[in-house]
Amino acid sequence: MVYVKKLVMQGFKSFAKRTEIIFSMGVNCILGANGSGKSNIADAICFVLGRRSIKSMRAARARNLIFMGSKYIKPSREAFVEIIFDNTDRGFNIDKDEVHIRRTVRVNGQSIYKLNGEIKTSAEILETLAQAGIDPYGFNLILQGQIQSIVRMHSEDRRKIIEEVSGIAVYESRKKKALHELEKTDEKLKEIGAILRERGIFLRNLEKEKEQAEKYNELQSTVKRAKATILHKRSEEKKREIHSILKSIQDKNEQKEKIINRRKKVEKDNQVLDEKINGINKEIQRATGVEQGELQEQIVNLKSEIEGLKVRKENYENKKTEIERRIEQVSNSIPELEQEIEELKKESPITAKKAAELKEKKNELTIIEEERKKLIAIESELNSIKERKNEKERQIAKTNAESESLLRQIEEELSKLNHKTEDECIRAIQSQKEKLIEKNKEITGIEKAQIENEKIVSVSDFEIKRLGDIKNKLDNIDVCPLCQTKITGDHVKHVFNEADEGIEIARKKKEKANEEITRTMEIKHKLANEIKSNEESITRLEFELNKHKNAKEKQERLKKIVEEEKVLKNELKRFEEKRINLEKAGEGIDRIEEQYHKKMLEIEEISSRNDENIDNLLLYKQRDLESFNTIIKQSKKGLKEVEEDIEEITSALDKKIDVLDEKEKQEEELTKRFNKMFQERDKMQKEIHNNNIKMAELQNEIRAVEEQANYLKIGKAKADAELDATNMELSEFAGVELLQGSIQHLEERLRKAQESLLVIGNINMRALQVYQEVKKEYDIVQDKAGTIEKEKIEILKIIEEVDKKKTREFMKTFKGINALFSENFAKLSAKGHAYLEIENQEDIFAGGINIIVKLAKGKYFDVTSLSGGEQTLVALSLLFAIQEFKPYHFYIFDEIDAALDKRNSERLAALLNQYMKSGQYIVITHNDAIILNNNLLYGASMQEGVSKVLSWKVSRDNPEQAATEINKT
């Protein structure tokens, strides 16, 4: 068994000089006066065993463990304590018979550990001691004033003593290892959880991008399918339209044939009516016989004769007038002719003058004739100009009406628009698109910030849980897992403060991150609404832009119409000026005509006077004079004859008129008899007239139908061209699946799809591929998380099995110690029966162990109400029960008997003698009973502030002599 073989001290507390104390198995009794340094030996053993709590060694700070000097000895610069263990049975896992452990402390508080001369860390020293079952905080080290703490200690601390004795540390180690593995597993799960959350967020975002890409492809497909379907339907509509036009052309041709047939029928009806009229005439002629025919013939002949007589009478009257005029003219010309004859006789050169005059008149006639031709041409052109002027006026009126209509349309359209010009509208659209891009960028930045804040929340939650676990664990451990020192109240307070500060910081970070998430969500929602508003504004502005374009086209058209109107007005003005000029130029046409006829007469007159020579002229003049006289005579004779003829014709005419009146009366009487036939004939003639009008109307209808057919043919050509264009455009969508629905529905669907494409904005098409890769990685990590979760379940099963074994071993130890405790208490005290009781029978390790003292008749004592001596006896009973159940290598008892009276001290000494063979006891005492029962004594004394130790082995053969020697000492 490992035991303390030697203790070496120098500079430690009151042991300024090197002091060696050799111990042996059994009871080693240290005695001395108060303040001699006895308890410093126990403190030295605790110090060298690696205790970190300086206060537990009755010092404020580490440097207070160093000798502080006296009147004659200087203070030490450092202190060391070395303990030598007997290791012959290899209790230490070191192949040496002795194990040397040394601890040095310097003024600055630094400690240096050595194991067999090699420098080690405190953790390594504690681990080496633990291998031999030595604990610097073990309950086998009872320092001054601590014996009663076993009774007063918390019930859970008492349970831990039983745990230590039961040796369930191996189970605890296994459990700790399993818990460590469980913690590592939880850490892995947390890490994987964090990875999964991060990947999940990324995957969700990527899934959104994938869905956007899929939606984009779907919308693109919808756009293609909608366009293809619309083009297909338009193509079919054009085909139907062409078929309809062809049918209409065919209908028009049939309509034309029908009208032609109707016209032919009307012509045939006219022929029938003509035949009927001829038949009626024949019937009238047949019915009336020769009487009416002759009567009509007589009337006609009479009318002809009367007209002839009237003409003859008129001719004779004209002739009479002419003869009278001629007689008068000739009579008037005779004096002039006689004068001319006289002048010719006097002067013959006048003839040459007449020839020149004739030539001059002919030239004047030529000029007048040219003027006349020009005026006739001007008159013809004037009529043409008037017609063209009227046509231009009609065109101007038409263009005015069209321009006014367009102007009203433009004003109505522009009055409904928010932007005055197309450029303003384009700038507004560009501005809205730029705002849309900026807002999309803001949303992307907000989403990134949101992911970062979610990470902060996750990390903060983990930190809060970790710090909370540390706080919870502090209640169940004695040694700090960080500094490996005994946990004190200050230590706990410090750790709690740091944990609370860390939790508060993490909570603030979490709250701030949550606030940021809430704020960013609100901003994101607001931006989404603004984006929607921007998109609606863009759609509205694009619609307005189209309105501007339509208005601009109408303005261009109006401009062309105004230009055309201006050209027409200029042409009209030019025609008006030309008309005025032509009218002015044509004003002299009557005068020219008069001059023309006058010149012709003058030329004829001059020509008639143009004789070859004066002589001939004179001869002719003389003959004319004779002829004039003859003419006058003959004319008078003829005038008489004419007057006779007129009288005769007048008489005949009166007779013929009387006969005609008689014949017409006869015809009227005859007509009354056949009035019905005449009415029927008149009706037929009127019907023929109406049929002729109807034939003209039918001819107009034929021309109108032909024009309509031509218009339809033009429309067919246009539809053919549009069909070719549509089919050419449709060829780009070959193989595209068509949709169902009307063109209006498809156009609405196309518009919505295009608007949705505009809303989507930038698309990450690689998301379709990347999503599958990331999803695969995510599934792998998730499977790994499942595997780790299974491992966690296995670890929990191991922990459960360890807890079961731990409970069995604990209960076995508890029962054994409890029995020995009761037995020891019975030996030390007659107070009653004492035993141990588990607080929580359901969960042993959730509660502690209480010490119960039972008196007779069912009365119980509260151990804390016992006297100090009685509490000491209870504590010693428990210690010796543990020693008997599982002996420790050594025990240190520092004045454990201080509260005992003489009788109980003797009982304690007897009990020590009983157990001295099974262990090593280093007892610091003033009790004579204990001292007398031990043969190895160590006397401690102090001289000039320095402690010294003297060992003395006393013979127990003569107890009286031994007592005398001890008293002398």
Of 201, 183, 182, residue with least CA distance to 458 = 201
Indicate whether 287 pLDDT > 60.
no
Average pLDDT over residues 687-708: 75
User: Is residue 944 scored above 80 in pLDDT?
Assistant: yes
Q: 744 with 203: CB under 8 angstroms?
A: no
Asked if residue 761 belongs to a domain, the reply is no
Dig out the tokens for 693 from the structure.
């009008």
Rounded distance, CA 421 to CA 545, Å?
Answer: 9
Characterize 520-531 residue by residue with b for buried, 16 or more Cβ atoms within 10 angstroms of its Cβ, and e for exposed.
beeebeebeebb
The candidate with the shortest Cα–Cα distance to 774, out of 203, 214, 211, 210, is: 203
866-875 average pLDDT score: 78
Q: Is residue 938 part of a domain?
A: yes
Residue 733 lies in a domain: no
By percentage, how much of the chain surpasses pLDDT 90? 8
Contact 229, 776 (CB under 8 A): no
Q: How many CB atoms lie within 10 A of CB 397?
A: 12
Q: Tell me the pTM.
A: 0.41
**Rounded distance between C-alpha atoms, residue 87 and residue 1, angstroms:** 8
Is 476 contained in some domain?
A: yes
Q: What pLDDT does residue 959 have?
A: 47
Residue 654 lies in a domain: no
Q: Is residue 423 part of a domain?
A: yes
Tens digit of pLDDT for each residue in 769-811?
A: 777 777 787 788 778 778 877 877 887 787 778 778 878 888 8
Per the model's pLDDT, the better-predicted residue between 414 and 435 turns out to be: 435
| CATH code (residue 447) | 1.10.287
Is residue 734 domain-resident? no
pLDDT of residue 611: 45
What is the torsional sign of CA 422, 424, 427, 428? Answer: negative
Average pLDDT of the segment spanning 921-930? 82
The answer to whether residue 623 scores a pLDDT higher than 70 is: no
Question: How far is residue 153's CA from residue 160's CA, in Å, rounded to a whole number?
Answer: 11
Higher pLDDT, 648 or 714: 648
CA distance 903 to 83: 35
- The residue among 612, 640, 670 that closes a domain is 612
Spatial distance between the Cα atoms of 896 and 894, rounded to a whole number of angstroms: 6
- Give pLDDT, residue 22: 93
Range 182-197 average pLDDT? 78
Q: In this structure, what token pair is assigned to residue 894?
A: 């520092």
For residue 834, is pLDDT > 80? yes
Q: If you search the block for the tokens 């068994």, which residue do you land on?
A: 1
Number of domains in the chain: 2
Cβ neighbourhood burial of 126 (10 Å; 0-12, 13-18, 19+): buried
For the cut 70, the answer to whether the pLDDT of residue 610 exceeds it is no
Q: Is 814 exposed, middle or buried (0-12, 13-18, 19+ CB in 10 A)?
A: buried
Q: How far is Cα 303 from Cα 316, in angstroms, rounded to an integer?
A: 19
C-alpha torsion angle, residues 828, 830, 836, 837 (rounded to 10) = -170
Residue 86: which pLDDT band, with cuts at 50, 70 and 90?
Answer: very high
Q: What is the three-class DSSP state of 22?
A: strand
| pLDDT at residue 828 is higher than 90 | no
What pLDDT band is residue 732 in, cutting at 50, 70 and 90? Answer: confident
Average pLDDT score, the chain = 76
pLDDT digits (tens, 9 = 90+) for 14-57: 999 999 999 988 888 998 888 888 889 999 999 999 888 888 88
Cα distances (Å, whole numbers) of residue 584 to 120, 378, 579, 589: 142, 10, 8, 10
Top mean pLDDT of 285-289, 482-486, 505-509 is at 505-509
CA R_g for the chain = 76
Tokens 């010719």 belong to 344
> Using CA atoms, how far apart are residues 487 and 505, in angstroms rounded to an integer?
25
The predicted model gives 860-880 an average pLDDT of: 77
Tokens 């025609």 correspond to what residue? Answer: 575
Q: What is residue 694's predicted lDDT score, i.e. its pLDDT? A: 78
Ranked by mean pLDDT, which of 13-22, 157-166, 799-808, 900-909 comes out on top? 13-22
On whether residue 252 sits in a domain, the answer given is no
The percent of residues above 70 in pLDDT, for the chain, comes to 75
Here the tokens at position 295 are 């009567």
Q: What pLDDT is stored for residue 479 in this prediction?
A: 47
Domain ends where: 592, 612, 632?
612
Q: Return the higher-pLDDT residue of 103 and 626.
A: 103
pLDDT at 244 over 70: yes
Nearest to 635 by CA among 276, 958, 320, 204: 320
Which of 10-19, 709-718, 887-896 reaches the highest mean pLDDT?
A: 10-19
Check residue 477 and give its pLDDT.
Answer: 55
pLDDT at 288 over 60: no
Which of 927, 883, 884, 882 minimizes the C-alpha distance to 907? 927
pLDDT of residue 183: 78
Tell which wins on pLDDT, 723 or 372. 723
Using DSSP's 3-state secondary structure scheme, residue 17 falls into coil
How does residue 860 score in pLDDT terms, banded at 50, 70 and 90?
confident
Q: In the prediction, which pLDDT does 484 show?
A: 43
- How many other CB atoms are there within 10 angstroms of residue 45's CB atom? 25
Helices (H) and strands (E) in the chain, counts: 17, 15
Q: Which of 591, 612, 633 is the last residue of a domain?
A: 612
Q: Which of 10-24, 192-206, 345-359, 512-526 shows the lowest mean pLDDT across its residues?
A: 345-359
Poorest-confidence range of 363-377, 533-547, 585-599? 585-599
- CA 305 to CA 931: how far, in whole Å? 205
**Cβ atoms of 739 and 226 closer than 8 Å:** yes
The tokens of 203 are what? 């995957």
Domain of residue 103 covers: 1-140+888-969
Residue 5 has pLDDT above 80, yes or no: yes
The three-state secondary structure class of 855 is coil
* Neighbour-count burial of 809, counting CB atoms closer than 10 A to its CB (0-12 exposed, 13-18 middle, 19+ buried): middle
Residue 479, SS3 per DSSP:
strand
Which CATH number do you get for residue 953? 3.40.50.300
Residue 107: pLDDT above 50? yes
Mean pLDDT in residue range 393-422: 72
Q: What is the pLDDT of residue 18?
A: 93
**Helix/strand/coil for 921:** strand
- Which backbone phi and psi does 182 adopt, to 5 degrees? -65, -40
Cβ–Cβ under 8 Å, residues 353 and 529: no
